[in-house]
Amino acid sequence: MSPKANERVALVTGGGGFIGQALLGRLLGDGWAVRNLDFVAGQIADPRLTHWGGSFLQRELLAEAMVGVDTVFHLAATKFPREADRDPLVDAQENIIGTVMMLDRAVEAEVRRVVFASAGGTVYGPPERLPVDEDHPTRPMSAYGVSKLACEQYLRLYDGRGARPLSTLSLRLANPYGPRQNIDKAHGAVTTFCHHAAQGRPITIWGDGSVERDFVHIDDVSRALVMAADAEVHGIQVNIGAGSGTTLNDILDMIERVRGARPEVTFEAARGFDVPRNVLDSRRAQDVLGWQPQVPLQQGVAELLTAFTPLPD
């Protein structure tokens, strides 16, 4: 389906995933024509949404999908964090080189802006100060974090370069959570904890539960991504997080307040790659995007517990 003359076109790589599906819905709600480049189509049905089955690593498919596109939202990654650590070479070959190829295709297609979903929880490494701002040293402790950081640097390299300048923006996302997050892949402590508690399943925690993270609702994440398309700034990194830390034990407390009972918990040995504390300073996002989080974590926990609780027979 061809877009209307005055309709803006977005290409989302990885639109079938958790963040991607939320982004597709918000873009469509804001009047965009959207192309989802992913092996997974997702569950959204809209005449302005087209599915391009495949990967951003497929050069010809990527070039075709970029024709007439205003903004590329690059969410896709071929490896999950644990997989990247097991095989850093393949992760680098696919995600770093693949992202550079994507930037080349974007320049050729005269795309106006590329918005990259980076990982604020991994690119900084052990924090020297909290909350962590964008000028904090970057010392990632995982191959996944190294890959994300390298992609950020390539975006900056391409930004404004050459006869057909490309405008870029990297969003360093905290820990997204919310409905439709894939429980089977064990990503997202808040969503996984709420699902297990609602289903009466035990929760596993590595360490003593004192690990502190910055959890941000998926609605706030998708809103930030869309706002990044038209931000006046470019060529920089922007943190997207709640700006406050929550421990895993705090999440258990929130669940207990809603359900009136504490979930069953099993504590395992701490993992060496888990940074003890990570909280992002998101003041730059407010300054340059006009963004700030809107969904309190306690509200998000209550909504997830309601969604996951089985209906009575």
Asked if pLDDT for residue 293 goes beyond 70, the answer is yes
pLDDT tens string 140-196: 999 999 999 999 999 999 998 766 679 999 999 999 999 989 887 656 899 999 999
Tell me what the mean pLDDT of segment 6-30 comes to.
96
- Mean pLDDT, range 266-283, rounded to an integer: 89
In this predicted model, what pLDDT tens digit does every residue of 218-250 receive, in sequence order? 999 999 999 999 999 999 999 999 999 999 999
The model's pTM is 0.94
CA distance 102 to 116: 11
pLDDT for 4 equals 64
Q: Would you state the pLDDT for residue 96?
A: 97
- DSSP bridge pairs for 53: 38
CA atoms within 13 A on the CB side of 140: 18
pLDDT band of 7, cuts 50, 70, 90: confident
Q: Give residue-wise pLDDT tens across range 71-92.
A: 999 999 988 788 888 999 999 9
- pLDDT at residue 244 in the model: 94
Active site residues: 144
Tokens representing 268 are: 């395992």
* pLDDT at site 5: 60
Q: How far apart are CA 15 and CA 72, in angstroms?
A: 11
Q: What's the mean pLDDT in 121-128?
A: 93
**Does residue 206 sit in helix, strand or coil?**
strand
Instruction: Please report, rounded to a whole number, the percentage of residues in the chain having pLDDT higher than 70.
Output: 96
pLDDT at residue 2 greater than cutoff 60 = no
Exposed/middle/buried for residue 312 (C-beta within 10 Å: 0-12, 13-18, 19+): exposed
3 state DSSP class of 200:
coil
What is the chain's mean pLDDT, rounded? 93
CA distance 305 to 62: 39
